[in-house]
Amino acid sequence: MRKIMAGIDIGSDTIKIIVAEILKNKTNILAVAENDSKGIKHGLIANKEAFVASLKEAIKKAEDIIGLRINKVLVTVPSFHVEFMLCEGLTTITNEDKVVRGNDIVRVMQSSIYNKVPDTYEIVEIIPTNFIINEEEITKNPLNCMANKLYVKTIVVMVPKENIKPILESFSQLNIEVIDLSLTSIGDYNALEREKMISQIGAIINIGENNTTVSIYNKGVLTNTSVIEIGGQNIDNDISFIYKVTKSDARNLKENFGLAHKRLAQASNTQFVTNKLGENIQVNQYELSEIIMSRLEEILNIAKKQINYLTKKEIHYIIVSGGVSEMADFSLTLESVFGKSAKLARLYEIGVRNNKYSVCLGIIKNYDRKLKLRGKEFSIFSSEELDELSGKHKKINISDNSVLGKLFGYFFDN
């Protein structure tokens, strides 16, 4: 079975979509699309009609690439007011051969949250930290192990229902089924994970256009996260104010002319732009880069303080991701704030080698990991549709009938 999934990262600035196939533990990108994110304010849906229109256009772009309708997706949800809860669960292995199956793993994880979730919150992730077989053997994956009893310790990640409801309603309006929800922090880690990180405590900073998310991970498990309402848009505002240019021109200067650090910027390198007063002004790269660098240092210093607030444990790694981190010479500014203790994120998958896609890519990898834990496979396309994707048949019409996935969608229901 070809395992093909579609991940959607709903950002304040853009909606990003990746369609990917997991083959032999490698992620092969089939389609990448994005669209301006309208109707979003401070990371939350403020205008559902505008958001649905933006979402529809973004999905259409991805569908045009693969030639099939996308009607099942993985989706990020806002990280505001995230709550974490430590839980425990226990189940008895009832099958005759006493071998742990996928449904046993699901059942023990469900038991860990039974009657523990507040009515105003929705679970977006149950992260197993350890499984214990017969009260003796500790394992990360008990699948196919012999056992009479299975015990689990979990970290339950919850967000307010009011943050999720508009998102689910928007996808339902487009007849698209949300099969799993995830946080940007979980996506980041799964996209950037390296072997040594599994045994370490670290932090990932994602700098987006409107918000900066700081997350703490303990041996690969998300333990705390915080959203700071500052990002690339603040740089645009600074440039717009100082040079009296439009936000659009300010962003263009930032992305196509300025540098994230002034060290390699040149005062002799200039560009003309018309300001709001109709004047043709000259902007030199050095002064522009000073403005950009100043705001970036502020963002990174705030994130640095936030790390110390979120954990008192020793940090072994700090990784900075997000679209803003792709600015030229960003690593120089990163070093000026953190020294050698932080590094710039890098994605190695062909087709998405830009940090703005880290979350979108990561939620696909995260869902595949959850499927492996319970010994299941999944694809957003049927076998007939996969034939169409392979070019065996003409394009077919796909039914729009869909039912919103329940708790964790296909993770629990299949």
- CA–CA separation, 387 and 381 (whole Å): 10
- CATH classification of the domain holding 271: 3.30.420.40
Q: Report pLDDT for 390.
A: 65
What total of structural domains would you count in the chain? 2
Which tokens is 177 given? Answer: 């089924």
59, 134, 124, 62: which is closest to 93 by C-alpha? 134
Kindly state whether residue 110 falls inside one of the protein's structural domains. yes
Which of 136, 160, 184 finishes a domain?
A: 160
Could you give phi then psi for residue 55, rounded to 5 degrees?
Answer: -65, -45
Owning domain of residue 241: 233-294
Kindly state whether residue 76 falls inside one of the protein's structural domains. no
- CA–CA separation, 189 and 203 (whole Å): 9
Q: Report pLDDT for 260.
A: 98
- CATH classification of the domain holding 97: 3.30.1490.110
Q: Report pLDDT for 383.
A: 77
How many Cα atoms are found within 13 Å in the side-chain-facing hemisphere of 207? 26
Which tokens is 399 given? Answer: 């039914």
Kindly state whether residue 174 falls inside one of the protein's structural domains. no
Kindly state whether residue 245 falls inside one of the protein's structural domains. yes
The b-or-e profile of 175-210 (16+ CB within 10 A means b, else e) is ebbbbbbbbbbbbbbbbbbeeebeeebbbbbbbbbb
Q: Report pLDDT for 176.
A: 97
Kindly state whether residue 207 falls inside one of the protein's structural domains. no
Which of 108, 137, 160 finishes a domain?
A: 160
The pLDDT averaged over each successive group of 10 residues in the chain (414 residues) is 91 94 91 94 88 97 95 93 95 93 94 93 94 92 94 95 94 96 96 94 96 95 95 97 97 97 96 95 97 98 97 96 96 96 94 95 96 89 76 43 37 44
Kindly state whether residue 60 falls inside one of the protein's structural domains. no
Question: What pTM does this model have?
Answer: 0.90
Kindly state whether residue 340 falls inside one of the protein's structural domains. no
Q: Report pLDDT for 219.
A: 93
Q: Report pLDDT for 398.
A: 33
Q: Report pLDDT for 382.
A: 82
What is the chain's length? Answer: 414
Which of 294, 328, 345 finishes a domain?
A: 294
Kindly state whether residue 346 falls inside one of the protein's structural domains. no
- Give residue 167's identity as a one-letter amino acid code: I
